[in-house]
Amino acid sequence: MMEVEITINGRKRRFDVEPNRLLLNLVRDDLHLTGTKYGCGIGECGACTVHLDGEAVLACMVLAVDADGRTVETIEGVADVNKLDPVQEAYIEEGAIQCGFCTPGFIMTTKALLAENPDPSEAEIREYLKGNYCRCTGYVNIVRAVQSAARKLGS
Amino acid sequence: MTINKVNTHIVPIEFEYHVPGSLDEAVGLLEKYGGEAQILAGGTDLIPQMKQRKAEPKHVINIKGIPGFACIEETPEGVKIGALAKLRAIELSPQIKEKIPLLSEAAGSIGSVQIRNLGTVGGNICTASPSADMATPLLALDATVHIYSRDGAKACSIAEFFQGRGDVNLGRGEFITGFTVPYPPVGAGTAFEKVGWTTFDIATVNVAAVVTLKGGKVDHCSIALGACSPAPVRGVLAEAALIGKEPSAEALEEAVEFIAACVEPRERWRRAPPEYRRRSSKALAMDALTRSIERARRFP
């Protein structure tokens, strides 16, 4: 067991973890933040996307001990208590969600995209979201949602 | 990968975890544990391998705590890139985009943003995969590899560094601290090309080219070919066939005929049979040379 200190969704927390524990399992099983999904486990589907020190990464590829002293944001940290984030609103309004399994990952990646590039083209959106798989929507509405979120955030 | 036969939910092996704070401490750990140790940098190769028990280290040494190891710096000899520089940082670095765009282009072609935010250039090279996308541009640009051990720092050329699949020229207790990538010759046009199963997958074949023109003739030409030999190789015969010639369509056709003689694809490799790799390496070399020449022509 090793003691680590990780700031999760704005709160500094201490954990005792085994070195082979994945950040994904710490988040889901210990903190019960189950919005972050386990999809493929090999870095292809993007369902486990979280922000580590502000950058979109895959929680299934990061050891919990490696997050020691760092900041993690999950989908649960995105919205205020009573109000959805504009990106979440846009996904709902544009029908960019069907079964919803991939949505937390998409929203975390979208937030990283819009933080870097507030007005992305369709090609830039598709390229940036390449690492997130959605097997329901066909992506068209997801691209629209990102464009709509960009407008909301820009106005 | 046979996804359904492996539980990728957990890392099933147990190991001791080390976070050295200095190069010497890291070297000490590597010497002490030797083959039982694995270095953890980005983790995008090591962690899936541990999940599948393809890597079963007893000791994992996280080198991210060593300061000054992720630099991207302009020096008189070229751009110095620390081994821990993230692929995403190389892709976006304004200095690299301006001075050595070939590196940005190759880095940006790897995996997804999430992978590039984790993966490092040192890791991409150290896994010694013949398909490593950073290997071909480094080889085409004659980069220098900086290696550190108890005996101090040493350097070797990237060509010497690659020995073959899964095998790089690193001894026990040695590890890569970074690379110096010389600036391409003035007026050089460069290009990176790859094919894979999907744009997300690792390369089935990748090619990097650097060309300069002088008086309408090819003055400098380097072509590096990845994933079509046990280690990334230079297409030396094709380079020689082009230097001193006007880069006409015929001259290019003639030069890329030599590509098949430069590569040695293996029968047992996944993703594509040898013939596919021989033909793709020729086609991609053609594309990379054509694009490099176009870019070199734009130079005033």
Query: For position A143, which CATH number holds?
Result: 1.10.150.120
Considering the domain architecture, whether residues A109 and A46 belong to the same structural domain is answered as no
Q: What is the pLDDT of residue B166?
A: 56
Number of domains in chain A: 2
A69 inside 8 A of chain B by CB: no
- The CATH number that applies at residue A71 is 3.10.20.30
Q: Distance between CA B185 and CA B140 in Å, rounded? A: 12
- What number does CATH give the domain B190-297? 3.30.390.50
> Percent of chain A having pLDDT more than 70?
100
User: Within 13 Å and on the Cβ side, how many CA atoms surround B58?
Assistant: 7
Considering the domain architecture, whether residues A69 and A91 belong to the same structural domain is answered as no
Contact call for residues B139 and B158 (beta carbons, < 8 A): yes
- Nearest chain B CA: its distance from A151 CA (Å): 23
Q: Distance between CA B231 and CA B254 in Å, rounded? A: 25
Considering the domain architecture, whether residues A64 and A6 belong to the same structural domain is answered as yes
Cβ neighbourhood burial of A119 (10 Å; 0-12, 13-18, 19+): exposed
Q: What angle do CA B178, A113, B46 make, to 5 degrees?
A: 40
Considering the domain architecture, whether residues A39 and A100 belong to the same structural domain is answered as no
Which residue, A77, A107, A127, sits at the end of a domain? A77
B200: which chain A residues are within 8 Å (Cβ-Cβ)? Answer: 44, 130-131
Q: Distance between CA B164 and CA B136 in Å, rounded? A: 14
- Please answer yes or no on whether B47 and A44 come within 8 Å at the CB atom: no
What residue of A is the nearest CA neighbor of B52? A42
Kindly indicate whether the ipTM for this predicted assembly is greater than 0.90, answering yes or no: yes
A112: which chain B residues are within 8 Å (Cβ-Cβ)? Answer: 113
| Predicted confidence band of residue A131 (pLDDT cuts 50, 70, 90) | very high
A29 inside 8 A of chain B by CB: no
A139 inside 8 A of chain B by CB: no
What residue of B is the nearest CA neighbor of A53? B117
B48: which chain A residues are within 8 Å (Cβ-Cβ)? Answer: 41-43, 61
Contact call for residues B145 and B158 (beta carbons, < 8 A): yes
B interface with A, Cβ–Cβ below 8 Å: 1, 3, 7-17, 40, 43-44, 47-48, 50-51, 60, 62, 64, 88, 111-115, 117-118, 199-200
What would the two tokens of residue B208 be? 């990097």
pLDDT in tens, chain B (300 residues): 555 567 889 999 999 999 999 999 999 999 999 889 999 999 999 999 999 999 999 999 999 999 989 999 999 999 999 999 999 999 999 999 999 999 999 999 999 999 999 999 999 998 767 778 999 999 999 999 999 999 999 999 999 898 765 567 788 888 899 999 999 999 999 999 999 887 777 888 999 999 999 999 999 999 999 988 888 999 999 999 999 999 999 999 999 999 988 888 888 888 888 999 999 999 999 999 999 999 999 987
CATH classification number, B3-63, choose in 3.30.43.10, 3.40.50.10860, 3.10.450.50, 1.10.630.10: 3.30.43.10
> Residue ranges of the domains in chain B?
3-63, 72-181, 190-297
pLDDT at residue A63 greater than cutoff 70? yes
Nearest CB to A56 within list B11, B50, B113: B113
Considering the domain architecture, whether residues A63 and A93 belong to the same structural domain is answered as no
A57: which chain B residues are within 8 Å (Cβ-Cβ)? Answer: 114, 117-118
Instruction: Please give the radius of gyration of chain B, using alpha carbons only, rounded to the nearest integer.
Output: 19
Q: Which helix (H) or strand (E) holds B238?
A: helix B236-242
A56: which chain B residues are within 8 Å (Cβ-Cβ)? Answer: 113-114, 117
Considering the domain architecture, whether residues A98 and A56 belong to the same structural domain is answered as no
Considering the domain architecture, whether residues A12 and A49 belong to the same structural domain is answered as yes
A130: which chain B residues are within 8 Å (Cβ-Cβ)? Answer: 112-113, 199-200
The distance from CA A64 to its chain's CA centroid, rounded to whole angstroms, is 16
What's the sign of the alpha-carbon dihedral B167, B171, B177, B178? negative
A42 inside 8 A of chain B by CB: yes
User: Within 13 Å and on the Cβ side, how many CA atoms surround B133?
Assistant: 28
Contact call for residues B103 and B85 (beta carbons, < 8 A): no
Q: Distance between CA B33 and CA B25 in Å, rounded? A: 12
- Nearest chain B CA: its distance from A142 CA (Å): 17
Size of interface A-B (CB pairs under 8 A): 94
- Please answer yes or no on whether B118 and A61 come within 8 Å at the CB atom: yes
The distance from CA B218 to its chain's CA centroid, rounded to whole angstroms, is 25
Q: What is the pLDDT of residue B4?
A: 55
| Predicted confidence band of residue A52 (pLDDT cuts 50, 70, 90) | very high
A106 inside 8 A of chain B by CB: no
- Nearest chain A CA: its distance from B193 CA (Å): 17
Contact call for residues B266 and B274 (beta carbons, < 8 A): yes
B62: which chain A residues are within 8 Å (Cβ-Cβ)? Answer: 65-66
State mean pLDDT over A100-115.
Answer: 98
B12: which chain A residues are within 8 Å (Cβ-Cβ)? Answer: 20
| Predicted confidence band of residue A153 (pLDDT cuts 50, 70, 90) | very high
For the entire predicted model, the pTM comes to: 0.95
- Nearest chain A CA: its distance from B71 CA (Å): 18
Which residue, A60, A77, A94, sits at the end of a domain? A77
Among B293, B180, B201, B189, smallest CA distance to B245 is for B293
Considering the domain architecture, whether residues A65 and A125 belong to the same structural domain is answered as no
Structural domain boundaries, residue A16: 2-77
Helix axes A103-116, A86-93, angle to 10 degrees: 120
A122 inside 8 A of chain B by CB: no
Which residue, A21, A50, A77, sits at the end of a domain? A77
- Please answer yes or no on whether B117 and A132 come within 8 Å at the CB atom: no
Instruction: Read off the pLDDT of residues B42-82 as tens digits, 9 standing for 90 and up.
Output: 999 999 999 999 999 999 999 999 998 999 999 999 999 99
The CATH class of B72-181 is: alpha beta
